[in-house]
Amino acid sequence: MDQKSNTSNRYSESDRLHYAPYYDLFVDSPFFRPRFKIEFNHRERNTFSPELTLRSYSKFSQRFLRVRVRNTGRKTAHKCEAELTVVIPNGADENELMRHPSDEPKLLVWGRYPQAEELKTSMDIPAKAGRLLHVVFSDSDFALQPNVKSPIRYASVSTLERVRPFEREAHIAENLVIPDSFTNGRFIVEVAITSEEGAYTKAKFQIDVDSDWKKLKMERITQTVRLTHSISWIYNRLIHRQVSKPEPNH
């Protein structure tokens, strides 16, 4: 037994000394680095779009839109962070700007809700594993708290300050901060994931916000979706021109 142990120790020490000059190159090679994949499937509602009905001073409901960030690499990704940036249309006027959140990057929150102790702004993701990331959420009480300085907000970006539970009265007020919230309509956002090791990926999503909290929807923007939206936009423009075309004088 001692001989086997000594042999094992001798070989491991020998290997460590022999391969030391190449160890960092081997471990940090692209083949072993973390790699990210963003997953979203609207059909898996319990995972990606859960709804909760809670009770505080009154009954209220919330709908959360989330993605799963999977590390497809061979090494743990440490201190992963995710930022959401709202894409504001070119040439947007003041009224359009008021409908959008600000375009400053916003740090998103990892974990499940309402288990507040799980909520984090930084997350380690082991190799071949995935972690849930909050993106946006709606609240049945949002429509009851209009902000006189802007259109009513119906959904919010899922930052730690917005998602974590508060006393209910304070919770509503906190979540209706204009720079982090949406009015009703269609919006485009970009979600970017980074890690301490330098792994990086990003994806764009279309967010559809309605005055009914249950109708909050999200769709990943792919080439097919872009083409569909372009065709729809051209068709609507042609119809609009046809309708607005003046009738010829007889």
Let me know if residue 26 belongs to a domain: no
Residue 150 predicted with pLDDT over 90: no
- Report the share of the chain in percent with pLDDT over 90: 48
Of the ranges 33-42, 127-136, 171-180, 199-208, which one carries the lowest mean pLDDT score?
171-180
Let me know if residue 202 belongs to a domain: yes
Let me know if residue 11 belongs to a domain: no
Let me know if residue 164 belongs to a domain: yes
In this predicted model, what pLDDT tens digit does every residue of 5-54 receive, in sequence order?
443 333 345 544 555 555 555 556 667 789 999 999 989 999 999 998 87
Q: Which of 9-13, 103-107, 140-144 has the highest mean pLDDT?
A: 103-107
Residue 76, domain CATH: 2.60.40.10
Model-level pTM? Answer: 0.77
* Overall number of domains in the chain: 1
What is the C-alpha to C-alpha distance for residues 21 and 32, in angstroms, rounded to an integer? 17
Let me know if residue 166 belongs to a domain: yes
Let me know if residue 48 belongs to a domain: yes
Between these two residues, 88 and 227, which has the higher pLDDT value?
88
Domain of 56, in residue numbers: 36-242
Beta strands 51-55 and 123-125, pairing class:
unpaired
Res 50: pLDDT: 92
Let me know if residue 54 belongs to a domain: yes
Q: Is 40 exposed, middle or buried (0-12, 13-18, 19+ CB in 10 A)?
A: buried
- Report the share of the chain in percent with pLDDT over 70: 68
Contacts of 154 (CB under 8 A, 6+ apart): 138, 142, 143, 181, 182, 183, 184, 209, 210, 211, 213, 216
CA of residue 131 relative to chain centroid, distance:
12
Let me know if residue 60 belongs to a domain: yes
